[in-house]
Amino acid sequence: MGIFVALNDLAKRRILLNITQGFPFCRPMFYPARAMTFRLWKSFASALFVFALINLRAADVTVSAAASLSDALTKIGADFQAQTGVRVQFNFGASSTLARQIEEGAPADIFFSADAAQMNRLAKRGLIDPATRKDLLGNSLVVVVPVNSNLQITSASDLTNATVKQIALADPKAVPAGVYAKAWLKKLYLWPAIESKIVPTENVRAALAAVAAGNADAGIVYKTDAAISKHVKIAYEIPRAEAPGIRYPIALVKGSKEPEAAKKFLDYLSSKEAGQVFTRYGFLLRQ
């Protein structure tokens, strides 16, 4: 029994030495006659170890990002965490809503908008770091219909037909996807004929959901959103020559609580690995 106890104590001491290896200043001298000293050092070293774990906890980065980025960013965030240990939390929504939240003091380290207008809005109030701002992605617009729909839409003018009674659109007064779609229709002088058919939604994903559920005959969404749904199909892809330039600017938010970790994630979003994910989800790289 005495040998077992001695070996057990020795094992404990080796474990303690491993724990305190990073703290050479607190390594005790072990003498059999100083059991009390050993226990005190053991408690002290354990406390230091726990304290170190708490202070070495990876930072959390909060990203307020456009709803259309949900799938791609969730994958990229998981990859980044696996590589760095830094957890990325996302707040997805309409860019206009997210900008307002940041204006009102909502916590955010990075803002990833679906248009320049909302980023400019925060820039004018001095709420972003201008040195970190860049246009990271592009996108395109498509007209979608329910997957079992018989509607034939081969041009923008077909949206004025009586067979198309309701068109789901992210709020064209504020939400980027809706603003882009309205600009496209106005450019073709079709907005007055279509405006009464518009069913405004909270964001582009809500517009997609409305069409998928059959609550609208058609919808105008980003191509990247159409690609993720099995309940809609693309009826018409808007030519780039007709569509407004779609760009997604990104920047660090001033007052970030984790500026270093946020900067690392911002840099990672421009990496080859992140670019491959964005491309896989249909985004256009603007770097």
The sheet carrying 284-285 orders its strands as 87-93, 60-66, 110-112, 247-252, 134-138, 284-285
What CATH number has the domain bearing residue 232? 3.40.190.10
Instruction: State residue 33 phi and psi, 5-degree precision.
Output: -80, -5
What's residue 11's pLDDT?
A: 44
My answer on whether 225 and 169 are in the same domain is yes
Lowest model confidence (mean pLDDT) among 10-24, 71-85, 135-149, 198-212: 10-24
pLDDT > 70: percent of the chain: 79
Count of domains forming the chain? 3
Q: Which of 43, 49, 53 is nearest to 23 (CA)?
A: 49
What's the first-to-final CA gap in the chain, in angstroms?
70
pLDDT tens-place string over residues 181-214:
999 999 999 999 999 999 999 999 999 999 999 9
My answer on whether 147 and 230 are in the same domain is yes
My answer on whether 104 and 72 are in the same domain is yes
pLDDT score of 8 more than 50: no
Q: What burial letters (b/e) apply to 91-128, b meaning 16+ CB within 10 Å? A: bbbbbbbbbbbbeeeebbbbbbbbbbebbebbbeeebb
My answer on whether 183 and 213 are in the same domain is yes
- pLDDT-derived band at 93 (thresholds 50, 70, 90) equals very high
My answer on whether 134 and 147 are in the same domain is no
pLDDT tens-place string over residues 18-56:
444 444 444 444 445 455 454 544 554 454 444 443 344
Per the structure, the complete domain to which residue 205 belongs is given by: 141-237
**Antiparallel, parallel or unpaired: β 218-222 and 198-201:** unpaired
My answer on whether 131 and 254 are in the same domain is yes
Average pLDDT score over residue span 134-155: 96
My answer on whether 193 and 107 are in the same domain is no
My answer on whether 250 and 132 are in the same domain is yes
My answer on whether 149 and 33 are in the same domain is no
My answer on whether 187 and 202 are in the same domain is yes
**Average pLDDT for the chain:** 85
My answer on whether 202 and 262 are in the same domain is no
My answer on whether 121 and 191 are in the same domain is no
What's residue 50's pLDDT?
A: 42
